[in-house]
Structure 1
Amino acid sequence: MQKEIQDLVEKSLKKARRLRAAGNYGHAYAHYTAVVELAPEKRADVEQEFTDVLCKWGMDLEKVDFEKMVLCYTRSLEIFPDNPRMLNNCAAHYIRKESPREALPYLNRALSSAPDFLPAEWNRNYAYNLLIDRWHFPMLNDRNRNTCYERAISNRISQGYNTVLDIGTGSGLLSLYAKDSGSERVYACELSTEMSFIADKVFSTNNSTDITLLPQHSTSIEIPRDIPQKVKLVVTETFDVALFGEFVLSTLIHAHEHLLSADGIVLPMGATVFAAAVESPQIRFMSHVTPAAKSDLTLNFAGINICADNKNYEAISLREDKTLYLTDPVEILQVNFNDLSELKELHTDGTKNVSWVKVRKDGRIDGLVVWFKLDLDEENTLDTSEEDSCWQLAVFADKPVKCSIGQDLKITTELWREQLRCTYELPKDKNDNSNWRKCKDFYRISQHTVMFLNDDDYMSSIARVAQLHRTKRYRYILDLGPFPVYGLEMLKWNEEVLRVYCYAETEEFGDLIMRIAEQNGVDREKICIVESCEEIDRSLDVVFYHNFSTQGEINDWSEPSLYQALKLTLSTDGFILPRRIFLIGQLIYSEDLPRMVLVEDKNVQRSLGKSNYVIGDFVNQYSCRQRFDLDLALYKAVEVSEERVLVQIDEGNTTSAVANFGKIQQRGVLPNVLVCWYTIHLDGGNCVASRRENSFMNHSAIILEDEVKGVIERGEDVRFKVLQMTGLTRVSLVL
């Protein structure tokens, strides 16, 4: 019997390996499972192969049968319970399904088994981001916002509006204000499961268990099932940067009709929305392709209108020193949250308003910035355009339009189905010969690609590398840039190139690539658009591998590893561009940046009475100390050290390094942030850093623990251990 089992195991293993090589991962997984179940002694030998097949089979199953995929992972983890890759990949499936809470146990197990397995750490942080929106941190740290709400709530309760429903309570702060302002009864509803957990802990810790927490949307609340009777005061702060994006109209209509007493009132009372036209290189950079004249790029984009295929508006913090207001603010919309008929009309019929405003300066309009003022009560108003506000601005970008002082600008405002849209228009000028009026072709592409093409320094570096390679015998090229600049430049100048493979995210994007090729005299027959590396049937001489996100991080490709797949497709002498990537760091001091990732309880305390609220302990459990998508120009900061190389990125291996910043002199401020960015070495001395103006990517900031102050005060060198794995990094202070 034992001999028969051994023969069966050997046959199954051979079949599993053949099927794996053929890409038949489902059948390969079945045979590998037979091997590890029948022959436990072989588990260690085949664990990596088994894991590879499971991860690839899981990707296939996710698309057609999620439950079967979960069963495969459950069965496999019974055999390999501490395999960090299996645990991480199972979690990644849940994250893609937008089920981050289900993912966390697997990620915690993975990190318990392998504390330095950075993909699991990255996915756990990502799960935290899904569970709790990052705007909760700056919002709770906005002392002015909190104080205004507290005073307005206290005023209303003192006027007799003493039963309160807090809609969208979040952490429960406004409910605490209502309770401690003397309300008879407070109800708090919250749809987010995770925020409900937090609010429950906040109420318990702050001796407010008498606040009734309803973990549901306010529109599902029924009387008397959920609350005994209608309330006299509804409090809410369910507004996005364009006021209406969180469906506040439908929420308040339901509240007026079902939850608020006839003599009750809503806080805030109402809001006024404003708009202004601006000239902003920041908006232009994100919205439209405008290749700079000084670029070494030789590809001709003339006559082609390329803009970002964005949602209706972007939430942006604009750099004040780079933003020119070309008009005065104009009021475009008002809403009274205590007028039910007005709310119903706006919700059902929408509105369309036309406003006219004089252009006060010569310039170029890149878009409209929109903000609002919240009238909480007669005494307290919040203005979301103020510099220290936790809200960003809503930006409605359109094609750049030249304007002259004294012109009348038409701003059209539409509100339909609780979506705000703003457009602008100048009177037609017959003498306007701008490129936009000459454009015959119009393409919408991703914002990432727009920013990539607008990064003149990066485009110049890529073009110079192509010129460096124009005499090389490179025949087959894969260009994985957001736009195949390197590949098209090589086709234009290097006759040896026979084929350039590239990806196209949409059919329209593929058409754009071909249109640019045709306009530049490139043979379209030499361009092959593919969806995966498996479609490439030749060894490659060069791969241009652009693996950066606009947020300032190297993409986590997870499973399967694209980088490893690319290395397998290279010819013997083939290579990948960029040649090298370094992570750079600098110590700074900033009051602003820690508030973006950690809630300080001092910012939520009452101004009108005694309080000792504890909220930060619960919200900060979901904090990610490394914050991406950072433009340091938007924040006040003091440089405390020189720049240092932290580590060289190696996506094929795990590496570690120690970066020594030396002794830091105590000159008034001590560092509390390590800001990080990349230097990208393409080839032949062509290097570009991501921390610069008009970079296609932002950078990141690591909020430091208090221990760094002790190191500095003791006069010791400030050193950081940097761990790098598949492009992901962890930076920790060496004590």
Structure 2
Amino acid sequence: MPNASARPRNSRRPRRRRRVDPARNELVSSSLESAQQCLFNQDYGTAFVHYLLALNLAPMFKDFARESFRFTLFKWSEELDSVGRIQDLFDCYEQALELFPTDEVILNSMGEHLFRMGFRDEAAGHFHKALKLRPDYPEARENFYRVANWLVERWHFLMLNDHGRNQKYQQAIQKAVRNGCNTVLDIGTGTGILGMCAKKAGATEVYACELSKTMYELACEVVAANGMDGSIKILHMKSLEMEVPKDIPHRVSLVVTETVDAGLFGEGIIESLIHAWHHLLLPPQRGENEIGEQSATGRVIPAGATVFGMAVECLEIRRHHRLRVSEVGGLSMAAAGELHSPVSCSSEPDDSMEPYTTERLSRLPGGYKPLTEPFKALSIDFNNVQELEGLSCTEVQEIRLPVIQEGEVDALAVWFQLHLDEESSLSTGPQEDTCWEQAIYPSHSTRGFVLKPQDELIVEVSCRDAYLRLCSVAVLRDGQKIHLDKCVDPQHPGNPVSNPEAELCSKLACLQTDQSKDLCMLECSEIALLNNHDYHQSFCSALGKLISRLKSSQCDPAVPTHCASPLYVLDVSEGFSLLSLIAASQGHVKAYSSVEKSKQQEVLKRLAHSNNVPEQQLEFWLNHTEDEQGVLQRPSREKLWSGIILDCVETCGLIRQKLMEKASLARCLLEEGGHIFPQRIVVYGMLVESDILLRESAVQGQEPTLGFNIAPFINQFTVPVHVFLDFSTLECRHLSESVELFVLDLMDTNANYITREVKVLATSAGRITAIPFWYQIYLDEEISVSTLSQNSHWKQAAVVLQQPLEVHAGDWVCLSVRLHKSIISILAHIENKPATMD
């Protein structure tokens, strides 16, 4: 008899009906009800806990409660953020994502918090997930574009598109592997291209390390796509943390790296190579290796470098690092004290200062003038560990440079020749077509001192903290040594003070006064802003017109002028701004400044005092503002604002985030007849053909990357808008005249729109690769400033098309322009020939 309990093999057991649990249902119901009541009472923390309990017990209510849950999460996270409970904030987001792992809004919001806290890699991951879930989600796209510029810097694209550079590295690696270097470590692998070169050359073992999580994951994808995932081991760690045999089984015979920046040592190559020679590389002399076999000599590619420099005069560098003007917007700057950028070099390390910045000299507006011939500042052998270890102990070297042209020293420009091996080298010089910029060591101590032919400039070179440091210290003229940090005769700025008595008095004054009190560091963009005479003069005129009009409208013959209530002006500019003080200097105005740093506030107070602006007419009140929208609120005891100054354009060339929201709030806070500055922004653009913008924005196929399949992976981090652009020096062909693309009206909300269709006439044949854009900023109907002007402290930006668009002279190109928050996107096609571009 068949077993009665046996079931047919392919039959399914009947699903057991879930038992109804009245207590559970009651708990879910009461928790949802309590959550809604807590929301009504604005008790967001308790509401969040109730939602967590209910939705974990009854997931079927997720869709029903999603919007309320999001709102609760965001409000509760704002409260946690405001009181500094950051860990609790992230714990709440992790709990939320356990409930809603595919909610793009929550992912994007958590990414925003992570980015604001400095966790850029993690933020990028959340933005990327949000975009994969919803590719048309504009907030996530804008956030991803912003973070992509941090994670994968634009030089990665230029470097990978530099076929000559890549080929020279490949040839040096091939030769080393043929000569017996069969085990290879690639330090700072980036996309993995050098490690793949070693494997393709025949290396038996290849290891690579990368600190950036984004680049590590990218390298893993690239190596797998090129069929080498089983033969190249990639480690997500610093080389300084690597050990044998914990991380790699034994010492390697070859280290390849390109952890060099424009100043050569800024990415820590000295420290990483010292560690590699002691712990990861075979010794430079022949000997027995760990397994008893004869080993090739350990070596490094690149083998070494030679650093060069020259003194230059350059107005563009000067205006970003030193105050060039004696008055700003009608205010004398004599009492400002010493204002300079945070980029300043001395032989003594100073953690508060950066020793150099970077520029591409060939693209600087106005160019530069060499004041000396190029000189050799330093040579280093990366295959000599004793030399590497002794670098930071080397005495300060003094070099004398004959002056070849008359001029003022604005900077020492530095570049290097990277010796890959005995035969091959790469140069980062200003005349080379290279992916590197040059290091710029600005001079703060030579203001007003003009070098002349037959002078000798004395430069100090040191490496005391593994940074290359260069500074101009003195000039030899007619046998006398003139120290450039000494006082300069204000009546004859080209000549040093020669009166010994005056010099002694100056030294005594320096002893009696704490000179550091008068020293204030500003960002390079803030220095350039102060030097923008047209900008401040235009604001001064526009403010003057408004104040004069409002004064006359409130005139009452029965009220003495000095008794009339003042006008109120608010400046909400980002960073250091003199606009509030310019407003206060107009008289009958009380101005509120958003400057927060105490040193910068002291500068404004000194300037107010020296320009006879009463102390009570200037107030600082944003020091403790937590709420981003709070910058436009004012004390309840005061009347409405007469004028509100908004900072509309970022230095990089983009519209500031949340500008229109702030403008909307500002309009509600204006008194009748009040004004927002600026009142209107007009965006202009032009069709151009520019190969350099393509190379800086995306990897162009497999040919420049030696046939390796890298482009699809790194191009995920391509952003459609190229920022910090100098249109005046951009290598490009103009294919049209400039046209108006978009208008933002800050005073009239009804005049604004989301998208605009623009027709542009192509004046020349070519490939449209990009559309650079800039702004005409209208302070009122008559007064405006351009971000394209020669003295502008703003840079420009450009939309780069994913696919170039072929045009002929006379074609009409249709542009669909859209501004979402601060990101401009453009779809382009030739009339009657549609093609989608972004």
Instruction: Give the shorter-chain TM-score range.
Output: 0.7 to 0.9
The aligned amino acid for 1:236 is T
Q: Deviations over 1:590-618 (max 9, x none)?
A: 11111111012345354xxxxx3211111
Q: Do structure 1's residue 406 and structure 2's residue 454 form an aligned pair? A: yes
What SS is found at the alignment partner of 1:197? helix
Offset of residue 411 of structure 1: 0.8
Q: Any conservation in 1 of the 2:97–2:107 contact (CA below 8 Å)?
A: no
The aligned amino acid for 1:134 is R
Offset of residue 69 of structure 1: 4.4
Q: Do structure 1's residue 660 and structure 2's residue 758 form an aligned pair? A: yes
Equivalent residue number for residue 691 of structure 2: 591
Offset of residue 314 of structure 1: 0.6
Equivalent residue number for residue 531 of structure 2: 454
Q: Any conservation in 2 of the 1:270–1:376 contact (CA below 8 Å)?
A: yes
What SS is found at the alignment partner of 1:655? coil
Q: Do structure 1's residue 646 and structure 2's residue 741 form an aligned pair? A: yes
Structure 1 residue aligned with 2:520, among 425, 433, 443? 443
Offset of residue 432 of structure 1: 4.0
Equivalent residue number for residue 490 of structure 1: 583
Equivalent residue number for residue 341 of structure 2: 308
Q: Do structure 1's residue 415 and structure 2's residue 463 form an aligned pair? A: yes
Equivalent residue number for residue 725 of structure 1: 820
Structure 2 residue aligned with 1:137, among 157, 164, 188? 157
What SS is found at the alignment partner of 2:409? strand
Instruction: Measure, in 2, the Cα distance between the counterparts of 1:315 and 1:309.
Output: 13
Instruction: Measure, in 2, the Cα distance between the counterparts of 1:3 and 1:623.
Output: 48
Cα–Cα, structure 1 residues 185 and 628, in superposed 2: closer, same or farther, change >3 Å? same
Equivalent residue number for residue 630 of structure 1: 725
Instruction: Measure, in 1, the Cα distance between the counterparts of 2:132 and 2:237.
Output: 34
User: Any unmatched runs of 5+ in structure 2?
Assistant: 1-25, 56-60, 284-296, 344-353, 475-481, 497-505, 552-565, 626-630
Equivalent residue number for residue 698 of structure 1: 795
Offset of residue 574 of structure 1: 3.1
Cα–Cα, structure 1 residues 70 and 586, in superposed 2: closer, same or farther, change >3 Å? farther
Offset of residue 392 of structure 1: 0.7
Q: Any conservation in 2 of the 1:317–1:634 contact (CA below 8 Å)?
A: no
Offset of residue 571 of structure 1: 3.3
Cα–Cα, structure 1 residues 101 and 279, in superposed 2: closer, same or farther, change >3 Å? closer
Worse-superposed segment, 512-521 or 207-216: 207-216
Equivalent residue number for residue 688 of structure 1: 785
Offset of residue 663 of structure 1: 4.8
Worse-superposed segment, 652-661 or 137-146: 652-661
Q: Do structure 1's residue 89 and structure 2's residue 109 form an aligned pair? A: yes
Equivalences for residues 342-421 of structure 1 within 5 A: 342-347=387-392, 349=393, 351-385=395-429, 386-399=431-444, 400=447, 401-421=449-469
Worse-superposed segment, 719-728 or 272-281: 719-728
Q: Any conservation in 2 of the 1:640–1:664 contact (CA below 8 Å)?
A: yes
What is the TM-score with the length of structure 2 in the denominator? Answer: 0.77
Worse-superposed segment, 111-120 or 514-523: 111-120
Instruction: Measure, in 1, the Cα distance between the counterparts of 2:585 and 2:686.
Output: 40
Instruction: Measure, in 2, the Cα distance between the counterparts of 1:14 and 1:184.
Output: 67
Equivalent residue number for residue 283 of structure 1: 317
Q: Do structure 1's residue 234 and structure 2's residue 255 form an aligned pair? A: yes
Instruction: Measure, in 2, the Cα distance between the counterparts of 1:223 and 1:52.
Output: 47
Worse-superposed segment, 180-189 or 536-545: 180-189
Equivalent residue number for residue 556 of structure 1: 657
The aligned amino acid for 2:332 is N
Instruction: Measure, in 1, the Cα distance between the counterparts of 2:51 and 2:689.
Output: 57
Offset of residue 106 of structure 1: 4.5
Offset of residue 393 of structure 1: 0.9
User: Any unmatched runs of 5+ in structure 1?
Assistant: 17-26, 607-611
Instruction: Measure, in 1, the Cα distance between the counterparts of 2:182 and 2:367.
Output: 47
Equivalent residue number for residue 21 of structure 1: none
Bigger relative contact order, structure 1 or 2 (CA pairs below 8 A, ≥6 apart): 1
Instruction: Measure, in 2, the Cα distance between the counterparts of 1:376 and 1:42.
Output: 63
Equivalent residue number for residue 164 of structure 1: 184
Offset of residue 74 of structure 1: 4.6
Instruction: Measure, in 1, the Cα distance between the counterparts of 2:67 and 2:232.
Output: 58
Structure 2 residue aligned with 1:513, among 604, 611, 634? 604
Q: Any conservation in 2 of the 1:649–1:727 contact (CA below 8 Å)?
A: no
Q: Do structure 1's residue 103 and structure 2's residue 195 form an aligned pair? A: no
Q: Deviations over 1:264-298 (max 9, x none)?
A: 221111111122111111111110122277x7x21
Cα–Cα, structure 1 residues 80 and 178, in superposed 2: closer, same or farther, change >3 Å? closer
Q: Any conservation in 2 of the 1:274–1:329 contact (CA below 8 Å)?
A: yes
Q: Do structure 1's residue 339 and structure 2's residue 384 form an aligned pair? A: yes
Instruction: Measure, in 2, the Cα distance between the counterparts of 1:80 and 1:160.
Output: 51
Q: Any conservation in 2 of the 1:641–1:661 contact (CA below 8 Å)?
A: no
Offset of residue 93 of structure 1: 0.4
Instruction: Measure, in 2, the Cα distance between the counterparts of 1:305 and 1:225.
Output: 53
Offset of residue 161 of structure 1: 2.8
Instruction: Measure, in 1, the Cα distance between the counterparts of 2:529 and 2:618.
Output: 20
The aligned amino acid for 1:333 is L
Instruction: Measure, in 2, the Cα distance between the counterparts of 1:567 and 1:387.
Output: 52
Cα–Cα, structure 1 residues 700 and 603, in superposed 2: closer, same or farther, change >3 Å? farther
Instruction: Measure, in 2, the Cα distance between the counterparts of 1:299 and 1:419.
Output: 39
Instruction: Measure, in 1, the Cα distance between the counterparts of 2:679 and 2:813.
Output: 30
What SS is found at the alignment partner of 2:805? helix
Instruction: Measure, in 1, the Cα distance between the counterparts of 2:694 and 2:199.
Output: 29
Offset of residue 9 of structure 1: 8.0
Structure 1 residue aligned with 2:271, among 223, 245, 250? 250
Structure 2 residue aligned with 1:466, among 537, 543, 546? 543
Instruction: Measure, in 2, the Cα distance between the counterparts of 1:620 and 1:583.
Output: 28
Percent of matched pairs sharing the same residue: 27
Offset of residue 79 of structure 1: 8.6
Cα–Cα, structure 1 residues 443 and 573, in superposed 2: closer, same or farther, change >3 Å? same
Cα–Cα, structure 1 residues 230 and 79, in superposed 2: closer, same or farther, change >3 Å? closer
The aligned amino acid for 1:268 is P
Q: Any conservation in 1 of the 2:683–2:773 contact (CA below 8 Å)?
A: yes
Worse-superposed segment, 476-485 or 501-510: 476-485
Instruction: Measure, in 1, the Cα distance between the counterparts of 2:237 and 2:104.
Output: 37
The aligned amino acid for 2:684 is I
The aligned amino acid for 1:698 is K
Instruction: Measure, in 2, the Cα distance between the counterparts of 1:180 and 1:76.
Output: 43
Offset of residue 46 of structure 1: 7.2
Worse-superposed segment, 272-281 or 69-78: 69-78
Structure 2 residue aligned with 1:271, among 283, 291, 305? 305
